[in-house]
Structure 1
Amino acid sequence: MNPEQVRSIKSQIAINPNPLTFDEYINFFPRPLELHQGYPTDGYLMLIALVKCYGLKKVVRLVPRELWEEVLNQVYPPT
């Protein structure tokens, strides 16, 4: 998957679920899942696909609010 395709899929991430089409799935995962040093070889693409499919509401519920606030302050420091 080229960078433009990744940007296109990332732009479809939303609060609510947005399932992958069959073509998107084939582009994301053209080969079987493989692990390298404990990480999926296409882990970043897998993460994007899962967040897109399940929506941010479900993703946010996986982690306590305090951790979200902490990481948001690290990524987007208060001005």
Structure 2
Amino acid sequence: MTKSKANIVANTYPSLARWLETYGTVEFGYCSQSRSFVRALDEGGMVWKGRPSYNSFDEALVDCEAGIGRWLREELGENI
């Protein structure tokens, strides 16, 4: 991905970008163990999981941004 495209993603989803650059990974796709479509993980395991399904991938990204942003604020005191 070019730097300008990466900046567009980071500007649109700043909490998600911070998470991926610094703390962990994000998985998209149905998982029978967690019963979620999207999950954020770090070395210790899952720190956030989304709903079982979404109407669109964009909706999943927006929920992921909000969920990770909330986790970063509540757990680490980061305000992105």
- Pair member with larger Rg: 1
- TM value normalised by structure 1: 0.27
Bigger helix share: 1
